Amino acid sequence: MAALTLAERFRLDGKVAVVTGGGRGIGRGIALGLAECGADVAVLARRQADVDAVAAEIEGRGRRALAISADVLDWDAVPAALDRVVAELGGLDIMVNNAGGNLDRRMHPLPEITLEKFDEQLDLNLKTKWWGSQQAARRMPDGGRIISIGSIAAHRPAPGFGVYSAANYGLISLTRTQAVELAPRRITVNCIAPGVVVTEMLRETMRITDEQAHERFDGIIPLGRTGDPMDCAAAAVFFASPAAEWITGQFLDVAGGQPT
């Protein structure tokens, strides 16, 4: 077989991908980016209307799609969803553990956070990504790509978001260890850490509008603007592609040069 050209090494033709939290924001951007580069994509999120809409966009790009309504905090839901992907799309090559954040869109300072909220934050932002990675790897007999979406909050104090920050710091270690453990099976494991990306979750958590978000954050980002979901999609496509077949265990900031 002829060697791929450099341009071809960024294509995902014939690959099957899953994106959790793919109904909105960064997850939607990643799902569409993978489809634009040739992958068939299963979109998993809690709201059926959201995943249906993204699946329709994927199909509009000429790719196959599955819209799966499931909660990543339901520990039976992800294995069942991945089994459906394998059965209906013919395999699993790329797993993007994107779902995360904070369910109630509120800040929780460490001196005040409850045990229940502490556990919820760890489950949503760390445990689900380990579980998704483990279950995906079991369905990748011929190698594959696992990509988790974290945050640059891993690198800094995060008043009001301390457990979220700690979970993302833990994701660095999780990613590096999984990368070594899965390397013999030709499965790479990498993490993307977005900076300030203006999404519905950011607006609701910070109680600000798009315009206020840009006024607040654009000036503190060295490249002069907040992020867009497609900035994160570009990094995900790279890690998922043949171009990154010799890259694993990495934690890549996608943050416009924002100091960490």
Tell how far CA 133 is from the center of its chain. Answer: 11
- What is the token pair recorded at 111? 């001196």
| Burial tier of 69 (Cβ tally within 10 Å: 0-12, 13-18, 19+) | middle
Q: Note whether 57 and 63 are within 8 A (CB).
A: no
Residues marked as catalytic: 164
The residues, ordered by sequence, that sit 6+ positions from 33 with a Cβ below 8 Å of its Cβ are 230, 233, 234, 236, 237
The edge-to-edge listing of strands for the beta sheet with 94-97 is: 65-69, 40-45, 16-20, 94-97, 144-149, 187-194, 251-254
Whole-number Cα distances in Å, 135 to 97, 111, 146: 11, 35, 11
